[in-house]
Chains A and B, each alone.
Chain A
Amino acid sequence: MVNENLVKDVVKEPYKYGFVTDIETEKIEKGLNEDIIKLISQKKEEPRFLLDFRLKAFKKWQKMKEPDWAAIGYKKIDYQDIIYYSAPKQKEKISSLDEVDPKLLETFDKLGIPLTEQKKLTNVAVDAVFDSVSIATTFREELAEHGVIFCSISEAVKNHADLIEKYLGTVVPASDNYFAALNSAVFSDGSFVYIPKGVTCPMDLSSYFRINSGDSGQFERTLIIAEESSSVSYLEGCTAPMFDTNTLHAAVVELIALDDASIKYSTVQNWYAGDEKGIGGIFNFVTKRGKCLGKRSKISWSQVETGSAITWKYPSCLLLGEESVGEFYSVALTNNLQQADTGTKMIHIGPKTKSTIVSKGISAGNSKNSYRGLVKIGTKATGSRNYSQCDSMLIGDQASANTFPYIKSQQPNSEIEHEASTCRISEDQLFYLQSRGIEFEEAVSMMVSGFCRDVFNQLPMEFAAEADKLLALKLEGSVG
């Protein structure tokens, strides 16, 4: 028998992003109604079309029921007990980073995301979002030279209203699901990316989402548009302080790729997961979807999900354009009492469309980790292909793993291939590595990263190393 206590110790690494920034914030009162939505819209000085979008979404949301089909269990969320807008108090108009509250800069420094001119990351432009607002976006001028727009969605609403009006809600309509409707009604900030025709974005773009207050939800909204023959790689990271209450995070991400465009979207999600008794942690209900609108367009999702008490997330691709390509590479690690129900939907609509799904679930402690995926091949998607591989790794004997693959094909001239496996780190494997001088914890993390190799290979360089480290940290003390 593998020593269970040792396994548990490995997973017990304290959460190092759990600090709270002591900063004066402007919060609106708790609760959700039309007046609150009008207030949010007013605070953000939004055009009429957006307020209408929000109010319509709110009406839909009121008629919807919270979904209960996922393999997760949690205490009912009281939507009237949440603050829907919280922002650090700042001067009215900030013209440069020097005017950003040093406490905020310090916060992002501590998170490893320096924003100031001297220290900023060299090859990545960063949009830093703190609770409900975007604090700063780096490299804007450099990007503008290439015609690339990278800013907070609030700014985009002001400066590029035409693009917002044209594309917002076209991939994830407000009525799509309960959490998407809620987000559409109350979303506060997030990132906006526009890559013009023929442009290869000169650097990686990245958003860093930080939840700071314990009683407000975060509802970010991200929209990325890649025009014909353009390409972009976008990274997203998330952390939150440790509170013993649960914080709701309901984001919507929409991607649009036109002819020959490609979008690579990578996430490292490390929201606070709650303690070992399952107290506290983020409820992460996220709708992410990409539309391959153009011919030969490509959208690739890669995600490393290690945080949150609950993860409910299915980054998907709508493959409309002929020969368009959708990819989903995922590593989901759960420990203690974490629950994850995650996967993807690949909807093949256009002919000769292709999709690849590689999912690696690792469950340790008493956690529950489910892959849920849909591959649908429509009547017009002749000559389309899907390949899915879903592997689960169990650590200890209290964790559980499920795989729910749904396959619907209406097109006989198409191919769907699905492989699944479940494994356990065996005592023999551990002993073999240990007998070669490799310490127990390193042996475990070697095997876990070996298990995730196919996915890590898809991550941008700077993320792959971080993901590897993050997994090792999360597993420290968990295997035996």
Chain B
Amino acid sequence: MQSKMKESDPILEVENLSASTDNLPILKGVSLTVYPGEIHAIMGRNGCGKSTLSKIIAGHPSYNITNGDIKFLGENINSLEPEERSQSGIFLGFQYPIEIPGVSNLEFLRVSTNARRKFLNKEELDTFDFEELVKEKLEIVKMDHAFLSRSVNQGFSGGEKKRNEILQMALLEPKIAILDETDSGLDIDALRIVASGIKKISNAQTGIILITHYQRLLDEIEPNYVHVMSDGQIIKTGESDLALELEKRGYEWTDNFIKET
């Protein structure tokens, strides 16, 4: 099955990526390739560079790429603006979704969706057509319509914020979604809703990177690969049983691994 996947071209290629912020090196040569239909999990201690990797792929301006490349659908995207990356199909689900006071969630979702649609040469949606679309997508994350009239993420509970992220993913239909600790702060019911939402949105043409600390998300969404990061490097890659092993033995177990590339 795996070899069949690899007949197609990769969606994302991270090649020997090093990056720093304020001259402090955070990533020290990360390589990762995601093919269509694949689900990758990245695990590792806090501060190992998981979140940084996701932000850099999304184009966060605070980090400088000092070496290596990020390729999306075969094109180097190192110098693309975050909005260009999003429009072309890269989605970052935030660990801590940001509150934007005064900006209505509905309007935000509409502008965002239209930016992606414009890129895809699809017709942009007016308020009425968008309402129809969003209604359908709300089902996926079991969110109430009332969320739309509130300000973006303002006063949302932790779980509501995460569901709002998945709603955005559902609307944007990205080629690749990097979900940064989407499971943290969720109770079991919310975790199931989020996980089933992710599964509904993804398909054989999309790729997913799950950044997580916990097996419980991976019980819901089984990854093809599990990567363990430490000190800005991927030190071990395995299949889904690696996560189970990690759950049993803790990160201390990985301290002895030597960088595998």
Contacts and interface: CB of A to CB of B under 8 A. Distances in A.
A432 interface: yes
A436 B172 contact: yes
Interface string A407-439: 000000000000000000011110111111111
B112 A438 contact: yes
A440 interface: yes
Interface stretch (A304-312, A368-376, A444-452): A444-452
Contacts of A428: 98
A3 interface: yes
A436 B100 contact: no
Contact of B112 (A1, A437, A450, A451): A437
A215 interface: no
A451 B82 contact: no
B232 interface: no
Contacts of A429: 98-100
Interface string B89-112: 000101001111111000110011
A438 B81 contact: no
B227 interface: no
A450 B82 contact: no
B83 A451 contact: no
Interface string B148-188: 00010000000000000000100010000000000000000
Contacts of A427: 61-62
A446 B108 contact: yes
A453 interface: yes
B112 A432 contact: no
A442 interface: yes
Nearest to B107: A446
Contacts of B172: 436-437
B102 A432 contact: no
Interface size on A, as a range, is: 20 to 34
Nearest to A456: B102
Contacts of A439: 81, 83, 115
B108 A436 contact: yes
Nearest to A2: B61
A420 to B, nearest CB: 15
A165 B143 CA distance: 63
A428 B58 CA distance: 13
Nearest to B111: A438
Contacts of A426: 98
A453 B60 contact: no
Nearest to B22: A1
Interface string A218-238: 000000000000000000000
Nearest to B113: A437
Contacts of B137: none
A426 B102 CA distance: 15
B61 A450 contact: no
Interface size on B, as a range, is: 20 to 34
B111 A434 contact: no
A447 B98 CA distance: 12
A245 to B, nearest CB: 38
Contact of A447 (B58, B62, B103): B103
Contact of A450 (B62, B83, B101): B101
B164 to A, nearest CB: 11
Nearest to A431: B60
B233 interface: no
B86 interface: yes
B116 interface: yes
Contacts of A447: 100, 102-103
A433 B98 CA distance: 9
A207 B77 CA distance: 52
Interface in B43-64: 58-62
Contacts of B202: none
B38 to A, nearest CB: 22
A9 to B, nearest CB: 14
Given A3-B61, A437-B112, A437-B172, A431 B82 contact: yes
Nearest to B109: A436
A450 B103 contact: yes
A429 B101 CA distance: 10
Given A427-B62, A442-B111, A434 B102 contact: no
Interface in A78-125: none
B87 A433 contact: no
A435 B111 contact: no
A435 B85 CA distance: 7
B100 A450 contact: yes
Nearest to B101: A450
A437 B174 CA distance: 11
Contacts of A449: 102-103
A227 to B, nearest CB: 38
B59 A435 contact: yes
Contacts of A432: 94, 97-98, 100
Nearest to B96: A428
B92 A446 contact: no
A436 B151 contact: no
Interface string A11-23: 0000000000000
A434 B81 contact: yes
Nearest to A432: B98
B102 A450 contact: yes
B100 A435 contact: no
A435 B86 contact: yes
B98 A436 contact: no
A452 to B, nearest CB: 7
Contact of B101 (A433, A440, A451): A451
B102 to A, nearest CB: 3
Nearest to B55: A431
Contacts of B92: 435
A458 to B, nearest CB: 14
A435 B82 contact: yes
Interface in A255-284: none
B116 A440 contact: no
B98 A446 contact: no
A442 B81 CA distance: 14
Contacts of B108: 433, 436, 438, 446
A1 B62 CA distance: 7
A431 B61 CA distance: 8
Given A429-B99, A447-B103, A450-B101, 12 more contacts: A429-B100, A433-B108, A434-B82, A436-B83, A436-B112, A437-B119, A438-B112, A439-B81, A447-B102, A450-B102, A452-B102, A453-B102
15 contacts: A3-B61, A429-B99, A431-B60, A431-B98, A432-B98, A433-B112, A434-B59, A434-B81, A436-B112, A446-B100, A446-B103, A447-B100, A449-B102, A450-B151, A451-B101
Complex A-B, nearest 3 residue pairs according to Cβ-Cβ distance, in ascending order:
A450-B102, A437-B115, A450-B103
